[in-house]
Structure 1
Amino acid sequence: MAFDSDDCEKITTAFRIKEMPRTDRPRERIILAGAGSLTNYELLAVLLKTGTSGMGVLEFAEMILRRFGGLSGLDRVTFDQLRQVKGIGEAKAAELIAAIEFGKRIHEATANRESRQIRSAEDVYELVCAKMRSLDHEELWVINVDSKNRVLAIDQLYKGSVNASTIRIAEVFQGAVSRKAMGIILVHNHPSGDPTPSDLDFVVTRNVKEAGRILEIALLDHVVIGAGDYRSIFDLTAD
């Protein structure tokens, strides 16, 4: 009888963990072969610990991943959204949210952002994506860099709508002036997930770039973050 890979996954997750050979159980495999040997739903099953009535923990984990659109969706999930899943109470929802946030903080720490050198828009994306891509609201951050484009600090400047009418140029450059930064990089997110810059994004870029010329603090780029992707306004407007 032939079946595809999806069928294989369904057959595997239909087993309850206690029915599986001990060496095939997720926790035991972490001990024997490391966490990297587990699939995404198996890792989630370890965090969940138990399934629901009529559904084993592996099948439950697979259902949750599919419901929220995989890892990228789970990255943006809220406590209230998890509580709407039958079988997830307050304690389990809190544990999952804590695990997701802990992963983001590990990524942020290993990025070593306070001494990282920015060479491209991709570097900017890697620096901020763990935090910024999962936000459900718009934020504008200012990355301050030295003469070698090494990160001095990141100022989280605005929350909410980011447009030319709400942004104060003095606030954008305040951190750079106090730190004697040689340049800044603007970065903001689009909660919709589409990183395509809006007309207002281009206006903000022009205004900040012109002010930077006067202050002798160069605007090096303006990067828009989406769900798993980014756009560099400087790349889009390059001659």
Structure 2
Amino acid sequence: MESPEYNPLIRDLPVDLRPRERMLYAGPSALSTAELLAIILRVGGRGENVIRMAERVLSHFGGLAGLAQANFDELCRVHGVGEAKATQIKAALELGRRLLVSSPEERPQIRGPADVANLLMLEMGLLEQEHLRTVLLDTKNRVLRVVNVYAGSLNTAVVRIGEIFREAIRANSASLIVVHNHPSGDPTPSPEDVRVTEMIVEAGALLDIDVLDHLIIGRNRYVSLKERGLGFKNG
């Protein structure tokens, strides 16, 4: 007969192995992903301490990227998680997402497509549905805000140009960059992507708001339609 697995309560662990105490004296960067998640979850379940639960949750979703991609219902279906823990996880992930697109000290400046990709790729590359966003910029190409325009297939039949520019006008934006994702992970532009880009660029010219680029985000890859001369008359 196999001996039962050793699974002590957190309070029974040595102080230097408890996640919260380790963070206090070693700092958050010293903790594993499972230990950080354990702090968010706070407590484990019957017969399972919170570190083991965190390890199991991460394993279930294939790591942190998969956890970030999971929706609320998928989190709740994991044994021992429930609504409270799922809410805590989603709140922590949302704070991380917001940090990527905002800076309380200094707004990020966009110097090229790579800056936009660095701002949004981590999150948008994991989305299971197409989303279209706009990065609104001031006269010095500093980010004013990132706007979630809508979710759904990007095509000329459904794209509402007014929605793309509404927040830009409200924010007195000098220019904007359009960003959408391909859930397949392949950021190769489709003919429809190019046609939509042409429509957006033309509308921007009429409204005196420069459309600087249109980026397509894939899994760890992106394409700048401006760099490829697609949808922009001047290449």
Please report how far the alpha carbon of residue 121 of structure 1 lies from its aligned counterpart in structure 2 after TM superposition. Answer: 1.3
**Higher share of residues assigned helix:** 1
Is 1:226 matched up with 2:221? no
Deviations 1:158-195 (A, max 9, x none): 33222122123344344445655443211112334443
Equivalent AA in structure 2 for residue 94 of structure 1? T
The CA deviation string for residues 26-83 of structure 1, in whole angstroms up to 9 with x for no partner, is: 1211121112111001111222233344443322211211211211111122221111
Q: Which residue of 2 aligns with 1:144?
A: 136
Q: Which of 73-82 and 184-193 deviates more?
A: 184-193
Q: CA deviation at 1:222?
A: 0.5
Instruction: Work out the CA distance in 2 between the residues paired with 1:53 and 1:144.
Output: 49
CA RMSD of aligned residues (A): 3.0
**CA deviation map 1:68-103 (0-9, x unaligned):** 121111112222111111112222222222222233
Q: Mark the runs of 5 or more structure 1 residues left unpaired by the alignment.
A: 1-12
Aligned length in residues = 226
Fraction of identical pairs, as percent: 42
Q: TM-score, normalised by structure 2?
A: 0.78
TM-score (norm 1): 0.77
Give, as a single letter, the amino acid of the residue that structure 1 aligns with 2:180. Answer: H
Contact 2:37 2:54 in 1 (8 A): yes
Shift of 1:221: 0.8
Which of the numbers 168, 187, 192 marks the counterpart of 1:195?
A: 187
| Of 184-193 and 26-35, the range deviating more from structure 2 | 184-193
Question: Which deviates further from its counterpart, 184-193 or 63-72?
Answer: 184-193
Q: Does 1:118 align with 2:75?
A: no
Q: Give the residue type in structure 2 aligned to 1:45.
A: A
Offset of residue 130 of structure 1: 6.0
1:70 and 2:63 are equivalent in the alignment? yes
Q: What are the Cα deviations for residues 93-119 of structure 1, in whole angstroms up to 9, with x where unaligned?
A: 222222222332344333768x43211
Provide the C-alpha distance between the structure 2 equivalents of 1:140 and 1:111, rounded to a whole number of angstroms. Answer: 24
- Structure 2 gaps of 5+ residues are none
